[in-house]
Structure 1
Amino acid sequence: MQHYKNKTKTSEDKKKKVTIAQAFKTIIWPRRNLVFIGLILIVLSRLSSLVLPWKSKALLDDVIPNKDYDQLYNLLLIVGIAILVQSITSFLLTKILSVQAQYLISELRAQVQKKVLSLPIRFFDNTKSGELVSRIMTDVEGVRNLIGTGLVQMVGGTITAVISLILLVNISLSMTLFVLVPVAIFGVIALKAFGYIRPIFRKRGVINAQVTGRLTETLAGVRVIKAFNAEEQENKAFEEGVERLFQNVKKSLTATAIMTSTSTFLLGIASTGIMGIGGYKIMMGELTVGDFLSFTLLLGFMIAPIVQMSNIGSQLTEALAGLDRTEELMNMTTEEDSENRTIILDKIDGHLEFKDVSFQYEEDKEVLHNIDFTAPPGSVTALVGSSGSGKSTIAGLVATFLNPKSGMVTIDHQDLSKVNLSSYRQHLGVVLQDEFLFEGTIRENILFPKPNASEEELQHAVKAAYVNEFTDRFDDGLDTLIGERGVKLSGGQRQRLAIARAILADPKIIILDEATSNLDTESEGLIQKSLSELTKNRTTIVIAHRLSTIKKADQILVVEAGRIAERGSHEELIAKQGRYFDLYTYQAKI
């Protein structure tokens, strides 16, 4: 089973990349005051760090030969103050910028999660939840290097290198020029390496999301895995994903190692050359011992930031690669089209109508063809038919999870494609076949659509859905923990809990997708009573395979191959002895 196949590079490599200029405009500039303070602190820190090499010349050339104790004490005081300034600025840098960077990460995560929840259902159908978790939690982490110490250190390092270079030229132009040759070669190699590393970091985000996605699925489906004795194949699939992640990390580490070793070699050559040239100049009397010591120390201050920039450059490259993927999500079209969805529904009667509606998931593959029907306020419309006939697609259109390819779905004679989604969905209730429950208590799950509901409203929903029939047997009652996805409850109990949740929401339109399919005979009898209460005075769309549960529906639509093959009441369709009659009599025999 190949869960982690390499995707083609075309779509991944051609995607628009976030530039430093864009990152500066959207992330750094809005926080320019903090960054400016950071730059001032880093400049103070770097300048104070240059005091020691600067004063070392005076120590060797003036203080020691002249045995000037007063100047020695002054020199020590100046160096001590410089070290204190360096320590304080270093602390403030971490305190201000690193904390702000973490705040930015949390802010970005919240923005990305908000964006993800605003995307249409189709996006989630094609994307693993674990993959999205990775993109929300991991991709944004790199921005700490933009607003945090990374970028500021790069700027500070540049300032230090430039000041050191000026001081080096002042001491010896020839020695400085000799050093600049290997430094320039290293700079060219580093730029090439960063261009090579960025796609690797971007690909790492993709692989990490895929591996996380698969792992999330594995943990969620652990019962199925154990039931089919499939641990070995799942382990193998995960190992393949981890191996791909390792190979990606190995590539970036190799590139970084090449940069580091190249810098060590080139700068080592420079240092060796300086020893020779400096020694010769001292012997010739062209350079003092103090000048040579200052030059050597300043050379370290010029080279250290350059070497450090290879690491910082990798961090910034990783940050931009993460922003690339984050930007992809943020640029996706949300389902709430504010330009076209301008109709606000304060209240609705529940008059639902399909007018010549067709729909397709893929180009040139229609799954619904010219669907026409009207569901008056308070009526029950049942959708029946074989699997894959289009029943759930019709329900998806009613729930506004999908939009018609052609034709129109209307609510109270308003085009649903132009209605503000939030204003419509506040009047919508859904009970699914495989109802999703959140980890927590029974009470929390029922209160989910209406957290501020009164205890009286809660108890009404509990009794109407016969939830109390089983919670009364639990020691903690409604405060019983149900485990992830309600794993501690039976199918019938989960279904009743979901119905109680829908009753509490008090919607005007109800979609019941196989709402009684997971129930035993006793539970089904209880639920049928509560569903009668739930559907009263509400427009209801029911998808049912158990045809015995929809005898009282106002209209039954038999959907076959994306078309309405028959319509009418139970008695009318039985009398026709058509497709519905065949389905019903077949189930009756079973």
Structure 2
Amino acid sequence: MREFQNTSTPKNKKKSKVSMIKAFKTIIWPRRSLVFIGLVLIIFNRIAGLILPWKSKTLLDDVVPSKDMGQLYELLLIVGIAILIQATTSFLLTRILSVQAQYLISELRAQVQKKVLSLPISFFDNTKSGSLVSRIMSDVEGVRNLIGTGLVQMVGGIFTAIISVGILISINPWMTLFVLVPVTLFGLVALKAFKYIRPIFRIRGEINAQVKGRLTETLAGVRVIKGFGAEEQESKIFEKGVDRLFQNVKKSLTATALMTSSSTFLLAGIASTGIMGIGGYYMMEGSMTPGQFLSFTMYLAFMIAPIVQMSNIGSQLTEALAGLDRTEELMNMTPEEEIEDRTIVLEDIKGDIIFDNVSFAYEEGKDVLHNINFRAASGSVTALVGSSGSGKSTIAGLSATFLNPKSGLITIDNHDMSKVKLNSFRRNLGVVLQDEFLFEGSIRQNILFPRPNAGEEQLQRAVQAAYVNEFTDRFDDGLDTLIGERGVKLSGGQRQRIAIARAILADPKIIILDEATSNLDTESEALIQKSLNELMKGRTTFVIAHRLSTIKKADQILVIESGKIAERGTHDELIASEGRYFDLYTYQARI
């Protein structure tokens, strides 16, 4: 299913506005058989509803005056059957369309989540995770009013109103004409209100995403907040967010209140009062029977109630379209894998990576890398060292294809990296980050993450190679121990060893170790270094390390300063040259 998707859009973000026609084509029309069944059911439901006012006239004008009990029983039977039909069709409407609407919501959520995961890392760097959660979970919920009972009820309301108008004209055309004036005025007010409300609903979605984004950050960083006693500060920030949301809701409630008061004044007030006076006059002069008057007022209710209901449903449809506007923006973004130039599929790679005059900038005009040139030969270890912010992690990100160079060329086995299918490259990639992410669940599930179908023997090899068993053997549940959200129940060193075991199990051709031993104590680091040495054999490895003692055996060490390669060579060569690396190494040796 590809609702609202336009992969030909070259821009990362395209403002859009989903019209009812487009929503009809992309959501309603593919499910036209279900909608048709719903329309048939609603028509039967509304026709059955018209039986009661019709038979009420018969009761007052014919049955009661004639005291015909047989005709009374017949009338009650017809009304009872009509009520049964109403109840049955109402149940079927909810059962068929509401369930289908919820299924559609789940489909759209899955589709949007898949789309979001296909977007480049730069998108996530600029978007709060809580905001994305809101867009995936909340923005699509409004479609239930398009495919669910909302739209069908609206069509049923129009059908009922039209039939009721026809019957009202047949009873008394002048009274009907009087009623249509306030109804028309209410319709104009409602249309104006809908036009006013839609942008408010759109902005509400954005504010809601921002508030949820901040809340997500607050909950994730609760230890930092409590550590600095910043609870009150965070509460004030959140209060400002929910106040913005309140102000937005207040605006929409104003428009909604206008419609409600208009319906009360124009429909329940002017129309009902006028009908009472006009009907009383006609009955007194004998041109209208009490049964006709009762029938007229009941049919009038059948005409007005759907109109009021349609205004409420119209508000829901407006909110749905506003949410779909935001959904379409996401669906119009170009996935990183769908760039037309990416046509090369890597089969069995060696891992020979070359940076040729590569520059990179996160912001236009602010380069963080300047003309980087080096070769990471297949099976070699390249260490990146330097002060914080020098560009080490950016080089690693470019090597992992998380980033794309501003200028210059990066090749893998002589293939231009910008033309390589990303999935064919990344299935040969393993990454161990400084702040490694673990999923909620068991230790076993986290290690098996890159290869869920790996056997127990492969799992145990990875566990032993990363010395995970050194601490899991002390746990009652061993590898099945639950670690909590982001591995909160484990120490930093334990989390890091699990992450390394995960990388070992993945068996990649290219490995990026970003401060992989930074969270380990001296004893654990010694154990891990042995396993990493085994892991790196025959694999192209990039190591970012502040502990220079861990990279003595690297094939080449690149000293990065201010986005440039200040020095390069082996450990012994750089020590002998007594340059920047020598200064860093001797300083650490003295600590």
Q: Distance in 2 between matches of 1:186 and 1:167?
A: 21
Q: Which residue of 2 aligns with 1:4?
A: none
**Structure 1 SS opposite 2:362:** strand
1:116 corresponding residue in structure 2:
116
Match of 2:96 in 1: 96
Query: What's the offset of the Cα at 1:338?
Result: 5.1
- Distance in 2, Cα, partners of 1:69 & 1:486: 78
Please list the CA deviations of residues 27-73 of structure 1 after superposition, one character each: whole Å capped at 9, or x if unmatched.
11111000000000000000110011112222222222233333322
Partner of 1:509: 510
Whether the 8 Å CA contact 1:338–1:420 is kept in 2: the answer is no
Cα deviation, residue 241, structure 1: 1.4
What SS is found at the alignment partner of 1:353?
strand
1:538 positional shift = 0.2
Match of 2:6 in 1: none
1:68-147 alignment to 2 at 5 Å? 68-147=68-147
Residue identity in the other structure for 2:149? T
CA distance in 1, matches of 2:202, 2:584: 53
Q: Secondary structure at the match of 1:18?
A: coil
TM-score computed with the length of structure 2 as normaliser: 0.96
**8 Å contact from structure 2 (residues 198, 322) kept in 1:** yes
Q: Does the 8 Å CA contact 1:511/1:540 hold for their aligned counterparts? A: yes
Letter in 2 for 1:467: V
C-alpha distance in structure 1 between counterparts of 2:400 and 2:458, whole Å: 25
The alignment's C-alpha RMSD in Å is 1.1
Residue 347 of structure 1 deviates from its aligned partner by 1.4
Percent identity over the alignment?
80
> Partners in 1 of 2:391 and 2:90 — Cα distance?
64
Superposed displacement of residue 369, structure 1: 1.2
**SS at the partner of 1:347?**
coil
Q: Distance in 1 between matches of 2:468 and 2:62?
A: 92
Contact 2:432 2:499 in 1 (8 A): yes
Aligned to 1:544: 545
Partner of 2:305: 304
- The offset of 1:110, in angstroms, is 0.5
Q: CA separation in 2, counterparts of 1:511 and 1:133?
A: 29
Tell me the amino acid that sits aligned with residue 314 of structure 1. Answer: S
- Listed as ranges, the matches of 1:150-299 within 5 Å are 150-267=150-267, 268-299=269-300
CA distance in 2, matches of 1:360, 1:226: 36
Letter paired with 2:320: A
Deviation by residue 1:260-312 (Cα, 9 ceiling, x = unmatched): 11101111111100111111111112212221111111000000001111211
Paired residue for 2:467? 466
Structure 1 runs, 4 residues or longer, greater than 3 Å off: none
- What pairs with 1:42-57 in structure 2 (closer than 5 Å)? 42-57=42-57
Aligned residue for 2:338, secondary structure, equals coil
Q: 1:483 — aligned with what? A: 484
Residue 16 in 1 paired to residue 51 in 2? no
Please tell me whether the aligned partners of residues 53 and 294 of structure 1 are also in contact (alpha carbons under 8 angstroms).
yes
**Which piece of structure 1 moves more, 550-559 or 472-481?**
472-481
CA–CA distance in 1 between the matches of 2:15 and 2:357?
Answer: 39
Partners of 1:366 and 1:283 in 2: CA distance: 90
Quick one: distance in 2 between partners of 1:201 and 1:113? 22
Q: Residues of 2 paired with 1:483 and 1:62: CA distance?
A: 75
Task: Give the C-alpha shift of residue 254 in structure 1.
Answer: 2.2
2: CA distance, partners of 1:529 / 1:274: 92
Q: Distance in 2 between matches of 1:441 and 1:455?
A: 15
Distance 1:517 1:73 in 2: 88
User: Paired residue for 2:536?
Assistant: 535
8 A contact 2:19–2:321 mirrored in 1: yes
Structure 1 residue 588 displacement after superposition: 1.7
- Matches of 1:302 and 1:483 in 2, distance apart? 57
Whole-Å separation in 1 of the counterparts to 2:245 and 2:340: 42
Q: Is residue 2:494 matched to residue 1:493? A: yes
In structure 1, distance between residues paired with 2:15 and 2:411: 38
Deviates more, 1:289-298 or 1:248-257: 248-257
Partners of 2:164 and 2:302 within 8 A in 1: yes
Q: Deviations over 1:526-578 (max 9, x none)?
A: 11101101100000011111111111000111111111111111111112222
Single out whichever of 237-246 and 136-145 deviates more from structure 2: 237-246
SS of the residue aligned with 1:336?
A: helix
Moved more, 469-478 or 456-465: 469-478
In the alignment, what sits opposite 1:11?
A: none
Tell me how far apart the structure 2 counterparts of residues 32 and 98 of structure 1 sit (CA, whole Å): 15
Cα distance in 1 for partners of 2:374, 2:23 equals: 52
